[in-house]
Amino acid sequence: MNIADKLVREHRLSDTEYAELISNYEDKDLAKYLADEAVRIRKEIYGDAVYARGLIEFTNICKNDCLYCGIRKSNPNAERYRLTKKEILSCCDIGYQLGYRTFVLQGGEDGYYTDERLADIVRTIKTRYPDCALTLSVGERSFESYRLLREAGADRYLLRHETADAEHYRRLHPSEMSLENRMQCLRDLRTLGYQAGAGFMVGSPFQTMDCLAEDLVFLQEFQPEMVGIGPFIPHHDTEFAKEPAGSVELTLFLLSVIRIMLPHVLLPATTALGTLNPIGRERGMLAGANVVMPNLSPVENRKQYELYDNKICTGEEAAECRGCLANRMKSVGFTLVTDRGDYRS
């Protein structure tokens, strides 16, 4: 039996099988076969629904120095900002009226947001919108911190593992950071009952097909409820400025593989994919994705949350992004819905 069929039938492969499978991502027939299977599987579970997550990028201040990231602490050109609680709540108000039932608070690792401050914001949002899910994406914190935030009402947590290969991890991050701690955080989130999201960039510097195979094996073992993947895109103020961007085709191929491996997974077609290709997010849906994360941040701050160059939607109002994505999803036969979009197990 060939490897693609084996994946479709058994939903799991070995690392060497994954490496071989994804090395053939340029084979158009293979990509089409996997994409069709991925869409078939996602339709069985989620129908034609696409879930929207209202993304609020509430601070670009970060104590970390990830080499690929435009808001790394050692970038003096990044204009720093931090939204107030009031500003965050106003994003939620606008978002709720537009039909969002999940809010994602994403930010750098900003020391201003102590457990107390963040828990207060979480609690307020969950009290005001009891029918909404709240997702946090604020990096590595202690078990106790994750516990307090969960207690305050946070439902989900996004923490991309970035790469499951320890050596590759070291080449993308400063020495203070480790894959081990990252993985511990993911396990802690799981223990605390969060719906957990892992993920990685496609085509980050030094990445090999073997690294990606390790990422897939990690996902297969960890079984996250959400997986965020998008192409690496260089940022002009980082030392990876001259590195090539990741491949759109490989990203799409991996979306299909991940959907088949984890049939129930909540899988976004990311903004980075939409940045590299004008119809990247639509193509993401046709490869097996079922989530989009339109921006709800104030327009004044969007350009400042620049993780990579040429990020889309930085001049758009929240309503425009929602409407735009609804149309885009419709153009490929999917429906953007007003729903929390919980994991269906």
Binding site for ligand 5AD (CB under 6 A): 68-69, 160, 162, 201, 230, 232-233, 235, 272, 307-308
Query: Residue 142 corresponds to which tokens in the numbers above?
Result: 């202690």
Q: Which does 316 bind (CB under 5 to 8 A by kind): ligand 5AD, ligand FES, none?
A: ligand FES
The span from the CA of 247 to the CA of 226, in Å, is: 21
- Which of ligand 5AD, ligand FES, none has residue 294 at its interface (CB below 5 to 8 Å by kind)? ligand FES
Judged by CB under 6 A, the chain residues 288 through 307 that form the site for ligand FES are 294
Distance in Å, CB of 160 to ligand 5AD, minimum: 4
User: Which residues in 136-175 contact ligand FES (CB under 6 A)?
Assistant: none
Phi and psi angles of residue 37, each rounded to the nearest 5 degrees, phi first = -65, -40
Per-residue x/- mask for ligand FES, residues 244 to 263, rule CB under 6 A? --------------------
Classify the C-alpha dihedral 163-167-170-175 as positive or negative: positive
Neighbours of 23 (CB within 10 A): 13
Helical ranges in 223-296 per DSSP H: 248-261, 271-276, 280-285
Which lies closer to ligand 5AD via its Cβ, residue 241 or residue 319? Answer: 241
Closest to 92 (Cα-Cα) out of 143, 44, 43, 133: 133
- Looking at the Cβ atoms of 55 and 149, the one nearer to ligand 5AD is 55
User: Considering the complex, what minimum distance in angstroms separates the CB of residue 5 from ligand 5AD?
Assistant: 31
Q: Which one of 119, 201, 321, 337 is in contact with ligand FES (CB under 6 A)? A: 321
Contact between 313 and ligand FES (CB under 6 A)? yes
> How many CB atoms neighbour CB 195 within 10 A?
19
Side-chain half-sphere exposure of 84, counting CA atoms within 13 A: 3
194 contact, one of ligand 5AD, ligand FES, none, CB 5-8 Å limit per kind: none
Determine which residue in the list 92, 325, 326, 337 makes contact with ligand FES, applying CB under 6 A. 325
3-state secondary structure of 280: helix
Number of residues that bind ligand FES (CB under 6 A): 7
Select from 42-50, 54-62, 84-92, 317-325 the region that touches ligand FES (CB under 6 A).
317-325
Stretch that binds ligand FES, among 12-20, 56-64, 170-178, 315-323 (CB under 6 A): 315-323
Residue whose CB is less far from ligand 5AD, 37 or 215: 215
DSSP 297: S
- φ and ψ at 259, to 5 degrees? -60, -40
CA gap 259, 262 in Å, rounded: 5
* Residue 201, SS3 per DSSP: strand
Of 115, 320, 339, 342, the residue at the interface with ligand FES (CB under 6 A) is 320
Q: Could you say which of ligand 5AD, ligand FES, none residue 3 binds, taking C-beta under 5 to 8 angstroms by partner kind?
A: none
- Give the single-character DSSP code of 245: P
The neighbour count for residue 109, using CB atoms within 10 Å, is 16
Which positions lie near ligand FES, rule CB under 6 A? 294, 313, 316, 320-321, 324-325
